[in-house]
Structure 1
Amino acid sequence: MPELDRVKLLAARYRAATDRPYLASALYSLTVVPSTGVPTMGVDRRWRCYVSPAFVDATPVPELAGVWIHEVAHLLRDHHGRADRLSAADQRDRLRVNVAQDCEINDDLLADGLALPAGRLEPRSFGLETGGLFETYLPRLPPLVTCSDCGSGAHGSPADWELPGADGPGGVGTVEAGALRRHTAEAMRSHQRNRGTLPAGWRRWAEQVLEPVVDWRRVLAGAVREAVAWSAGAVDYTYRRSSRRTTALRGVVLPSLRRPLPAVAIVIDTSGSMGEDDLAAALAEVTGVLREVGVGGNRVTVLACDADVRTATRVTSAQQVELAGGGGTDMRVGIRSALALPERPGVVIVLTDGFTPWPDEPASSRIIAALIGADPPAPPSWVEPVRVTDLR
Structure 2
Amino acid sequence: MTAEVVGLDFAKLYAARLQAVSARPYLATALYALRIIDSRAVPTMGVDKYWRCYASTGFVAGTPVEELASILVHEVSHLLRDHHARSDRYAHAHDLTGPGERLRMNIAADAEINDDAFGDGLVRPSGAVMPATLGLDEGQLMEDYLGQFRLGPLIEGMAWLDCGSGADGSDRAWDVGPDGADGLSEQQRDGVRFLVAQGIVGRPGNAPQGWRRWANEALHPSQPWRDLLGAALRAATSAPGVGEDYTYRRPARRSTALPGVVLPSLRRSPPRVSVVIDTSGSVSDDELGSALLEVAAIVRAVGGRRDLVTVFSCDAAARIAHPLCQAEGMSLIGGGGTDLRTGFTKALRTRPDVLVALTDGQTPWPSQQPACRTVVGLFRRGRAWQENNPDYVPDRPPAWARVVDIG
Normalised to the residue count of structure 2, the TM-score between the two structures is 0.82
Within the alignment, does 1:298 sit opposite 2:304 as a pair? no
Identify which of 206, 209, 220 aligns with 2:229. 220
Cα pair distance change 1:317/1:345, threshold 3 Å: farther
Deviations 1:66-125 (A, max 9, x none): 100011111111122223323354253322221121111111314767323222112222
Pairing of 1:19-34 with structure 2 (within 5 A) = 19-34=23-38
Identify which of 123, 128, 143 aligns with 1:135. 143
Secondary structure of the 1:109 match is: coil
Report the counterpart of residue 388 of structure 1 in structure 2: 406
Q: CA deviation at 1:349?
A: 1.2
Cα pair distance change 1:256/1:112, threshold 3 Å: farther
Unmatched tracts of structure 2, length 5 or more = 385-393
Report the counterpart of residue 123 of structure 1 in structure 2: 131
Deviations 1:10-30 (A, max 9, x none): 111100011111111111111
Identify which of 176, 191, 207 aligns with 2:188. 176
Report the counterpart of residue 390 of structure 2 in structure 1: none
Report the counterpart of residue 274 of structure 2 in structure 1: 265
Between 286-295 and 271-280, report the one with greater CA deviation.
286-295
Partners of 1:373 and 1:216 in 2: CA distance: 11
Cα pair distance change 1:118/1:283, threshold 3 Å: same
Partners of 1:22 and 1:217 in 2: CA distance: 34
Secondary structure of the 2:343 match is: helix
Q: CA deviation at 1:358?
A: 1.2
Secondary structure of the 2:358 match is: strand
Partners of 2:252 and 2:191 in 1: CA distance: 57
CA contact (8 A) 1:348 1:366 kept: yes
Q: CA deviation at 1:243?
A: 7.5
Between 83-92 and 148-157, report the one with greater CA deviation.
83-92
Partners of 2:190 and 2:114 in 1: CA distance: 23
Secondary structure of the 2:117 match is: helix
Secondary structure of the 1:108 match is: coil
Deviations 1:211-235 (A, max 9, x none): 1111111111111111111275453
Q: CA deviation at 1:339?
A: 1.0
Q: CA deviation at 1:166?
A: 2.4
Within the alignment, does 1:159 sit opposite 2:172 as a pair? yes
Matched to 2:310, the amino acid is T
Matched to 2:91, the amino acid is S
Identify which of 68, 74, 78 aligns with 1:74. 78
Report the counterpart of residue 90 of structure 1 in structure 2: 96
Partners of 2:380 and 2:50 in 1: CA distance: 40
Deviations 1:319-356 (A, max 9, x none): 797999xx972111111011113xx1111111211111
CA contact (8 A) 2:359 2:378 kept: yes
CA contact (8 A) 1:264 1:348 kept: yes
Q: CA deviation at 1:2?
A: 3.8
Secondary structure of the 1:348 match is: strand
Deviations 1:112-158 (A, max 9, x none): 67323222112222222222222222233212554521112222222
Report the counterpart of residue 369 of structure 1 in structure 2: 376
Partners of 2:353 and 2:349 in 1: CA distance: 12
CA contact (8 A) 1:90 1:97 kept: no
Cα pair distance change 1:23/1:256, threshold 3 Å: same
Secondary structure of the 1:87 match is: helix
Query: How many equivalent residue pairs?
Result: 379
Cα pair distance change 1:164/1:382, threshold 3 Å: closer
Q: CA deviation at 1:374?
A: 0.6
Partners of 1:354 and 1:124 in 2: CA distance: 44
Identify which of 275, 279, 285 aligns with 1:276. 285
Partners of 2:260 and 2:368 in 1: CA distance: 50
Cα pair distance change 1:160/1:385, threshold 3 Å: same
CA contact (8 A) 1:231 1:347 kept: no
Q: CA deviation at 1:260?
A: 1.4
Q: CA deviation at 1:41?
A: 0.6
Report the counterpart of residue 10 of structure 1 in structure 2: 14
Unmatched tracts of structure 1, length 5 or more = none
Secondary structure of the 2:362 match is: coil
Report the counterpart of residue 220 of structure 2 in structure 1: 211
Partners of 2:302 and 2:6 in 1: CA distance: 63
Identify which of 285, 291, 295 aligns with 2:294. 285
Partners of 1:147 and 1:252 in 2: CA distance: 83
CA contact (8 A) 1:95 1:155 kept: yes
Matched to 2:402, the amino acid is E
Partners of 2:232 and 2:186 in 1: CA distance: 30
Report the counterpart of residue 391 of structure 2 in structure 1: none
Secondary structure of the 1:230 match is: coil
Matched to 1:128, the amino acid is L
